[in-house]
Structure 1
Amino acid sequence: MNGALEGVRIIDVSRVLAGPFCSMILGDLGADVIKIEHHESGDETRGWGPPFAEGESAYYLCANRNKQSMTLNLKSEEGKEIFRKLVASGDIVIQNFKTGTLGKLGLGYEDLKEINPKLIMASITGFGLTGPYKDLPGYDYIIQAMSGLMSITGEKDGSPVKVGVAIADILTGLYTCIGILSALHHRDKLGEGQEIDISLMDCQVSSLVNVASNYLFSGLTPERMGNQHPNIVPYQTFGTSDGELVVAVGNDDQFRRFSTVIGRPDLAEQEQFKHNEKRLQNKEELIPIIEDSLRGKTKKEWKRLFDDAGIPNGPINDIAEMFEDPQIIARGMLVSMEHPTIEDLKVTGSPLNLSKTPVTMRKHPPLYGEHTDSILAEIGYSPDQISKFKENKII
């Protein structure tokens, strides 16, 4: 068995990151993913570089393994008919066109469910299919700004800062996976498909979790706190003799052990620091004391001492250091794949470790249109018809 989703066919007409990231996860789990790309330009991320490897952009390669690629002109009548044939034999459509685009082409959910009543369509947009912003384009950066995320990211006295990766896209991809798997379960019970309306904005707002809850309960607008935590102290970065590390003291018992390790057991006995609520109130006094205590040893020395005492901590690794970490290597989070043009293609692994149906890296990120002919042949088109499609710029 290739995976938990073996036998599930996904028609993916999404581009860039949120949709492709979602379909890659489902592909890792065994689904058959057909990536449909524009017949002239393909997924935009194919050109998002450098870096490139043998003409393939690193950006594209990060989110497109375990897929087949075919090109298709969805504005042509022949292209629409091909798409409908694919949908008739498929289970899921993932799309991230602007609201209403597929509907105008006669390929919206209401149209396609007439062909396949069991169809599940995941429609990813910036702001959703309803509401005053439904027709606006949505990009990760814009969503990070409008959702409030940037207002709480960065140093207290600095400017708002975006997260270093397209986190709104990634979260939306994950939420879309959850929605699709839920819809598949519903379909298994009742035999009916449905449309999933999911937006980057909604997903990013949902991810604000305790910060949003703090505002809703207190009425106080959260502010940027840099590397500090709004509810827990000490829970931040600290300098050592050779760099910075993160210390995350999550409860009073940990604080007692932490105080002993840094040579200040008296801190845990002082009334203003004994409990987290008091530490939060008196952090301006406590933090400098801890900073002074940590300057006397290296990151490695403190890590060993904190690990032995059960104090959550970790050095601030760069990406190169992260991929060299023995834990990352042991967990299979760095994977080598075969590729027709790239020698020793390396990609990040999957965090999904299923004991009975493990994920597999079966297919390299496809070349542009690599499987167009074979997919068309599979759904009944002859070599002559495929040649004519090429001549008429249908594929």
Structure 2
Amino acid sequence: MTTVPTPDTPPSPGPLSGLRVVETGQLLAGPFCGQLLGDLGADVIKLEDPGKGDPLRQWGRERPQGQSLWWSVVGRNKRSVTLNLREAAGQDLAREIISTADILVENFRPGTLERWGLGYETLQAINPKLIMVRVSGFGQDGPYAQRAGYGAIGEAMGGLRYVVGDPSTPPSRVGISIGDTLAAMFAAIGALAALREREISGRGQIVDSAIYEAVLGVMESLVPEWQIAGYQRERTGAILPNIAPSNVYPSKDGKWVLIAANQDTVFARLAAAIGRPELAADPRFATHVARGERQSDLDEIIAEYTSSCLAEDLESTLIENGVPVGKIFRPVEMLADPQYRARESITEIEHPVLGSVAMQNVFPRLSRSRGNVRWPGPALGEHTDEVLAEMGLSPADVKTMREKGFV
């Protein structure tokens, strides 16, 4: 792991240094987009409701000392400003802040910003180069646009939920809020594409990222398989149907190891490694098609071997024989793993209440201008005075607005 650079060794400003992003909205889809841009160096100003803030501040099963660990990640590298967008004075301030921005990120239900006088036409009139990134369940138009659209609904309607889980159970959840994060990633890509186009045209535009479409976008050849061949993908659990061996296998010490050796040459190496070299020439398993047809039989043979080995020994044996293998990692394995340490995949950041907090680093890595985690999710309104001072407001002005509940 790596720690935050000291004042003597300041971090790289990141490739998006100099860009200003204003983030509205809450929970995950919009804020994760803001996190991605902030990780790469953008100045992200997060506008939050006074007294409440982003509900994500309260989320997470574990909240040591009342602190949301989830917020410490998603809120990192952002400046928190409290602003009541339901009041005219708050809306005026928001327009002033947005007038200085390159990108506005929002994930309210379509039409919400328009009701607050913060629609794109209004904002573009004061900031023609503004790029508005809009993340929603179903997009900004179409018959479903006004529906409430959580990430889980997008996962269901985008085709992911149906193919996740064991075939004997109902459709399963992946285990993370993948619909929200996929929509955020597509939104960030769209923002960067719009920035590039702005260099040519000099104009901003709207980036419309729908959760269900983001999920659909990663569903491989699911649609043409049905439309052309009449093939419907089903839940398959841990296996890749008709591609064997590719599965998780038990070890003697109760751990799970994933082995992927479906190519002929790789399977031959696996067969030798488990002391069964004759399997590579056995007609039942000698070819890719044959192994796929007898997938369960082959998995039983491999599992019999893996069950006799400690996970560490099994992994070492297969690596020595050039067989792709990996233990199923939990955080405890991640924090101890030499590859994670060598690439600084996990960083540690100082939190004002919790002390040193480990979290995922910034990805992907850039060779010259790598992004970095500069601070964890801030306290609610921590940067209100700072940002409003940048807008030209005096401390007395800010105090008055705070007393009236506008900030």
Output the TM-score relative to the length of structure 1.
0.95
Shift of 1:41: 1.0
* Range moving further from structure 2, 5-14 or 106-115: 106-115
- 1:44-83 per-residue CA deviation (whole Å, 9 max, x = no partner) reads 1111144224332112112111110001111211111111
Per-residue CA distance 1:291-330 (angstroms, 9 max, x = gap)? 2233322212221111111111111222222222222222
Q: Take 1:32 and 1:164, find their aligned partners in 2: how far apart are those partners?
A: 31
Amino acid at match of 1:349: N
- Is 1:370 the counterpart of 2:386 in the alignment? no
- SS of 2:74's partner is coil
Deviations 1:212-255 (A, max 9, x none): 55444431221111100135211111123223211012422111
Q: What stretches of structure 2 of length at least 5 have no aligned partner?
A: 1-11
2:337 is the counterpart of 1:325: yes
Distance across 1 between alignment mates of 2:228 and 2:324? 29
Q: Does 2:290 align with 1:282?
A: no
Aligned pairs for 1:85-124 (under 5 A) are 85-124=96-135
Give identity over the alignment, percent.
Answer: 36
Contact 1:273 1:279 in 2 (8 A): yes
TM-score by length of 2: 0.93
Return the offset for 1:211: 4.4
Residue pair 1:50, 1:58 contacting (<8 A) in 2 also: no
2: CA distance, partners of 1:242 / 1:341: 38
CA shift digits 1:94-128 (9 cap, x unpaired): 00000111112221112211111110010000111
- Secondary structure at the aligned position of 1:237 is classed as strand
Q: Distance in 2 between matches of 1:200 and 1:68?
A: 26
User: Which residue of structure 1 aligns with residue 4 of structure 2?
Assistant: none
Q: Which amino acid aligns with 1:192?
A: R
Quote how far apart the aligned CAs of 1:150 are. 1.9
* Aligned partner of residue 169 in structure 1, secondary structure: helix
Alignment of 1:294-333 (within 5 A): 294-333=306-345
Confirm whether residue 171 of structure 1 aligns to residue 171 of structure 2: no
Q: Give the Cα separation in 2 of the matches to 1:190 and 1:250.
A: 49
Equivalent residue, structure 2, for 1:246: 258
Residue type of the alignment partner of 2:378: P
Aligned to 1:42: 53
* Aligned pair partner of 2:147 in 129, 136, 153: 136
Structure 1 unaligned regions, length at least 5: none
| Residue of structure 1 in register with 2:5 after alignment | none
Q: Deviations over 1:172-220 (max 9, x none)?
A: 1211111111111111122111100101111111122144554444312
Q: Which moved more, 1:358-367 or 1:74-83?
A: 358-367
Who is 1:32 aligned against? 43
User: Who is 2:269 aligned against?
Assistant: 257
* Cα distance change of structure 1 residues 278 and 127 upon mapping to structure 2, 3 Å threshold: same
Displacement after TM superposition at 1:3 (Å): 1.3
| Distance in 2 (alpha carbons) for counterparts of 1:365 and 1:58 | 9
**Structure 1 CA distance for aligned equivalents of residues 199 and 375 of structure 2:** 27
State the distance in 2 between where 1:290 and 1:54 align: 47
Return closer, same or farther for 1:50/1:257 CA change in 2, 3 Å cut-off: closer
SS of residue paired to 2:135:
strand
**Aligned partners of 1:91 and 1:118 also within 8 Å:** yes
Q: Distance in 1 between matches of 2:401 and 2:65?
A: 28
Return the offset for 1:260: 1.4
